[in-house]
Amino acid sequence: MTTGTEKKPSRIQLRNRHRILDAALNVFSQHGYRGATLDLIAKEAGISKPNILYYFSGKEEIHVTLLNQLMETWLDPLIEMDASGDPMTELLAYVQRKLDMARDLPRESRLFANEILQGAPRMGPHLASDLKPLFDEKCALIETWIHEGKLAKVDPRHLIFSIWSTTQHYADFEAQIDVLMPKRAKEDGATDYLNAMFTKLLSP
């Protein structure tokens, strides 16, 4: 664990820290916070438990570090929604970015879902200080597009919730989907289906 008075971490220290966080992401996404242990993280990382405690004070600090890193990534797709763009194009692009995130970052999606299902005990302040203002801003933007007649009348909040739920399903329920349909069909069909569904919903 580093402090402001310590020297800059070496390459080996940075590499070990990355190995620990990557291993912890696997463990937390599979077992949740309560089921995860330092022993499991140490085994996954191939690093001794005492060595992990050199870099982090315990399981909670590792978990909070991962959540803090995740929050910025989680907000980026919504931040990119451009007020000067075509409304339908911007919303469908947002759907695609969230779908890409579900495909490329399934462990992170499950980490986030597990935290929310627990009542967001560690991420609650971030939801209030970071996500809520951005969410309100984009809801107001969608409401403006609706008043201008560029989109159908929908509740912007429930629209965004629907985008989150339909896209994150492909990460959070990946094991179920992999049993029910071939991987190629999932990847080829998800974009087309969601685009058609949201285009029909949003067309004025």
Question: For 165-182, how does the pLDDT look when each residue is reduced to its tens digit (9 = 90+)?
Answer: 999 999 989 889 889 987
Unique residue bearing structure tokens 């695609």: 96
The answer regarding whether domain 64-202 maps to CATH 1.10.540.10 reads: no
CA–CA separation, 38 vs 184, rounded Å? 36
Question: What are the tens digits of pLDDT across the range 102-156?
Answer: 989 999 999 999 999 899 998 898 899 999 999 999 999 999 999 999 999 999 9
What average pLDDT score do residues 186-193 get?
83
Helices (H), the chain: 11-35, 38-45, 49-55, 59-79, 87-104, 106-117, 124-126, 132-147, 156-172, 174-180, 183-202
> Which phi-psi region, left, alpha or beta, contains residue 149 (left: φ > 0; alpha: ψ -120 to 50)?
left
- Residues 44 and 23 sit within 8 Å (Cβ to Cβ): yes
Region for 134 from its dihedrals, namely left if φ exceeds 0, alpha if ψ lies in -120 to 50, beta otherwise: alpha
pLDDT at 201 over 90: yes
CA atoms within 13 A on the CB side of 174: 17
| Res 185: pLDDT | 66
CATH of 11-56, one of 1.10.3720.10, 3.40.50.1000, 1.10.10.60, 3.30.360.10: 1.10.10.60
> How many angstroms separate the Cα of 88 from the Cα of each of 65, 85, 198?
36, 9, 9
In three-state secondary structure terms, 121 is: coil
Structural domain boundaries in the chain: 11-56, 64-202
Q: What is the pLDDT of residue 2?
A: 47
